[in-house]
Amino acid sequence: MPTYIVLLGPPGAGKGTQAGILSEKFKLPHISSGDIFRENIRNNTEMGKIAQTFISKGELVPDDVTVAMIRDRFKRPDCVRGAILDGFPRTPPQADSLAEMLREFGGKVDLVPFITAPAEALIERLAGRWSCKECGHAFHSKFNPPKTPGHCDFDQSALYQRDDDKPDTVKHRIDVYQQQTAPLIDYYKKGGILTEVNGFGSIEEVATLMNSIMCVE
């Protein structure tokens, strides 16, 4: 039976960072909806052009566009054993669509770690985030610096600061999270699969907490 883990939490909570660690550990693909959008923007696809208009303002990309993109991603063979989902779903209709898609593969969402951190920490983390242009891996100028300044540890590509990580856009993204994504906390609580994880420690401390809640094979 495939294993699907959904990482929930506000922007900057550490979802991508922890998803990378889990992906290595469980040998499951790390699916980041934000990374796929950014790849489409770089490649100037029709979908990327639509997504860009929302992402630049810190708004959510419409559900139909997002769900179609994830449905496409699930068709790739690396998803047969499951996946670590980071940034998707972000609204209750997306969560309904996810449940429906996973039923088609004989799977379900198994676990939802909900990573929390105070708003000031989110803003500081995003202001110092440097992302790899190629693989999307996130570093931090203070909390997780790359070995060679300006270059990714994994593929040596250039690091850049995301436009939507500017403090004003971040504040709006946190509001959007509160309004549109936070209802998923109750959604998954009702399903009995949500576990809160304190994301305010170091990356290693949070990874240890994540480990302690993993009861999947």
Q: Does 55 bind ligand AMP (CB under 6 A)?
A: yes
103 catalytically annotated = no
Pick from ligand AMP, ligand ADP, none: which does 146 bind, CB < 5 to 8 A by kind?
none
Closer of 152 and 206 to ligand ADP (Cβ): 206
90 catalytically annotated = yes
Among 37, 74, 139, 188, contact with ligand AMP (rule: CB under 6 A): 37
Shortest distance (Å) from residue 149 CB to ligand AMP: 23
42 catalytically annotated = no
Backbone angles phi, psi at 68, to 5 degrees: -60, -40
Q: Are 32 and 19 in contact (CB under 8 A)?
A: yes
171 catalytically annotated = no
Residues paired with residue 112 on neighbouring β-strands, in sequence order: 194
Number of residues that bind ligand ADP (CB under 6 A): 22
Sign, CA dihedral 64-65-67-68, equals positive
- Name all contacts of 201-205 with Cβ < 8 Å and 24+ positions apart: 202/143, 203/14, 203/17, 203/18, 203/143, 203/144
Indicate left, alpha or beta for 136 from its phi (over 0: left) and psi (-120 to 50: alpha): left
Strand, helix or coil at 64?
Answer: helix
Q: Are 101 and 71 in contact (CB under 8 A)?
A: yes
130 to 149: interface string for ligand ADP, x by CB under 6 A: --------xxx--xx-----
Q: Does 173 bind ligand AMP (CB under 6 A)?
A: yes
Residues of this chain that interact with ligand AMP (CB under 6 A) are 11, 32-34, 37, 54-55, 58-61, 66, 87-90, 94, 164, 173
Which residues make up the interface to ligand ADP (CB under 6 A)? 9, 11-17, 125-126, 128-129, 138-140, 143-144, 199, 201-203, 206
The catalytic residues are 15, 90, 129, 162, 173
